[in-house]
Amino acid sequence: EAQVTQNPRYLITVTGKKLTVTCSQNMNHEYMSWYRQDPGLGLRQIYYSMNVEVTDKGDVPEGYKVSRKEKRNFPLILESPSPNQTSLYFCASSPQTGQGARGYTFGSGTRLTVV
């Protein structure tokens, strides 16, 4: 089954403790992206990647890092999480940049709470 797999689904952590949210897709998609969803703000893009080793900032990149060492994986790294990063996070992929109109595939989301 074609899918984007995010882990974990839920995570509670403490301020300053480094964490990684994993994202993996099995569709050989080149384009991958991370979004955060907050009440009253919709979804906002954090980072994106056009292909292996090619990443760039989205609209709200502060406090986050990403890497794209393999085509299928695009982890989101919070080096020193803070409470304002408490949010619902989504990973999404599409075949290539500019081809999202054919349908982005979203992961099932990660609910992160930083206390």
Partner 1 sequence: AQTVTQSQPEMSVQEAETVTLSCTYDTSENNYYLFWYKQPPSRQMILVIRQEAYKQQNATENRFSVNFQKAAKSFSLKISDSQLGDTAMYFCAFMKPTGANSKLTFGKGITLSVRP
- Closer to partner 1 by Cβ: residue 74 or 90: 90
- Please, what is the minimum distance in Å from the beta carbon of residue 106 to partner 1? 4
Query: Are the CB atoms for 78 and 64 separated by under 8 Å?
Result: yes
Task: Please select the residue that binds partner 1; options are 20, 86, 97, 113, rule is CB under 8 A.
Answer: 97
- Decide if residue 12 touches partner 1 (CB under 8 A): no
Which span sits near partner 1 by CB under 8 A: 20-28, 62-70, 77-85, 106-114? 106-114
Which residues, 6+ apart, have CB-to-CB distance to 11 below 8 Å? 19, 21, 110, 111, 112, 113
Task: Indicate if the alpha-carbon torsion angle 18, 23, 28, 51 is positive or negative.
Answer: negative
Which residues within the stretch 34-63 sit at the binding site for partner 1 (CB under 8 A)? 35, 40-45, 48, 50, 56, 58-59
Binding footprint of partner 1 on the chain (CB under 8 A): 31, 33, 35, 40-45, 48, 50, 56, 58-59, 88, 90, 92, 94, 97-101, 103-104, 106, 108-109, 111
